[in-house]
Amino acid sequence: MFTFQSASIDDFDRLLQLRLRTMRESLERIGRFDEWRAYDRFRNSYRPHYTRLIINPEGTLAGCVAMGPVDDHLLLEHFYIFPELQAQGLGSRVLSKLLEEADRAGLPVRLSVLQQSDAGRFYARHGFIETGEDEWDVFYERQPQTATQGVAGEN
């Protein structure tokens, strides 16, 4: 299992390092890895009051995720899990918890993933629909679910 812990401004440096570790390969694949650009982008979008640390049962940092209101929806961003902890179901458990919160609030969730990223398939399995793309990102949205609807891919 995991627990959430509130992030603070003091977590910026370690979460930036987590971002660089998890995003580097995908950014290099499309020729966009630049440590300074990654720093700048994270600095401009880091909202500690909406960011949660994902903590392992042992009490160690496993990743982070941010989700907060923007206009008429929730924006999901900065969802990073250490590479050695990926593909073990943790991301799905974290996302399911966040989607439950969104459903209770009755709000859609929007996000973007890097072009050619495996994350698109992950989000599609959780009911997200592609809504558009630009040169670097693909945009997704998931409408709130009611108790009788369920999520695509669940059985």
The Cα 2–Cα 33 span in angstroms is 30
pLDDT score at 153: 47
From 28-37, 75-84, 100-109, the region with the lowest mean pLDDT: 28-37
In degrees and rounded to multiples of 5, residue 83 shows phi and psi of: -50, -40
In degrees and rounded to multiples of 5, residue 78 shows phi and psi of: 55, 50
Q: Is the pLDDT of residue 145 over 80?
A: yes
Average pLDDT, the chain: 88
Q: Is the pLDDT of residue 124 over 90?
A: yes
| DSSP state for residue 136 in the 8-state scheme | S
- List C-alpha distances in Å: 50 to 33, 75, 118: 26, 10, 25
3-state SS class at 155 = coil
3-state SS class at 66 = strand
CATH homologous superfamily for the domain 3-142: Gcn5-related N-acetyltransferase (GNAT) (3.40.630.30)
* pLDDT, greater one: 154 or 130: 130
Percent of the chain with pLDDT over 70: 88
Which stretch of DSSP H or E encloses residue 101?
helix 90-105
pLDDT score at 30: 58
pTM across the whole model: 0.83
- Per-residue pLDDT of 61-89, as tens digits, reads 999 999 999 999 999 999 999 999 988 99
- Which residues lie below 8 Å from residue 30, measured CB to CB, with a gap of 6+? 114, 115, 116, 136
3-state SS class at 135 = coil
Domain boundaries, the chain: 3-142
Average of per-residue pLDDT across 118-137: 92
CA 96 to chain centre: 12
Average of per-residue pLDDT across 99-103: 97
Residues 6, 53 contacting (CB under 8 angstroms): yes
Average of per-residue pLDDT across 117-121: 86
